[in-house]
Amino acid sequence: MIDEHGHLSTLALLRQQTWLSPAFPTGAYSYSHGLEWAIEAGDIHDRESLVDWLEADLCYGSGRNEGIFFNEAWRSAAANNPARLLQVAELASVFRSTSEFALESVQQSIACLTTLRQVWCDRLLDCLAEMLRKLKLAPALGVVLGVRAATQRVPANLALPAFL
């Protein structure tokens, strides 16, 4: 969705924000990624401890991993490389640290992939869904959204921070 002058279209940015909205039917609103527990346990009790918790997740935790999978899926989709995309998707599908995060990720990812495929035609997402179905693997949200951002030509340097 880049025009003849190389500018990103407003429509592409609006669509990306729609996919990332808590109102988008992924169930994202019902998960806190462990934040509620960290508050209840007293690990997060003020702004500074919240920033520390978020920084740790983005630098060393599952946020970092999801960012890597998003970026690699984006690159694979931008290069139209389904074989590489499948490798990224397989790794992401088994790289969930706890059963709680696995449940959160799987439910959000399936809902997101299903909705995107029903609303917008995307050959690569269809291909990804079919490959994962054959392997009996659940999609990962970062992979799904990385593919969609790439196929809509939303630059990774805009899409990845918005995703995270």
What pLDDT sits at residue 144?
94
Q: 69 and 44, same structural domain?
A: no
Distance CA 13, CA 53 (A): 29
* Residue 8 within any structural domain of the chain: no
Name the residue with tokens 């960290």: 38
The CATH number for 147's domain is 1.10.4190.10
pLDDT tens-place values along the chain, 164 residues long: 554 445 666 777 788 888 887 777 765 555 567 788 889 999 999 999 999 999 998 888 888 989 999 999 999 999 999 999 999 999 998 887 677 777 777 888 898 899 989 988 899 999 999 999 999 998 999 999 999 999 988 889 989 998 88
**Buried/exposed code over 25-62 (b: 16+ C-beta within 10 A; e: otherwise):** ebebeebebbeeebeeeeebeeeeeeeebbeebeeebb
Instruction: Look up residue 24 and give its amino acid.
Output: F
Q: 125 and 95, same structural domain?
A: yes
What pLDDT sits at residue 28?
58
Q: 157 and 85, same structural domain?
A: yes
Q: 100 and 36, same structural domain?
A: no
- Classified as helix, coil or strand, 92 is helix
Judge whether 15 and 8 are in contact, CB under 8 Å: no
The residues that bridge with 8 in the sheet, in sequence order, are 2
Rounded to 10 deg, the angle between the 141-151 and 156-163 helix axes is 150
The residues that bridge with 2 in the sheet, in sequence order, are 8
What pLDDT sits at residue 74?
97
Judge whether 104 and 35 are in contact, CB under 8 Å: no
Instruction: Give me the domain span that covers residue 160.
Output: 62-164
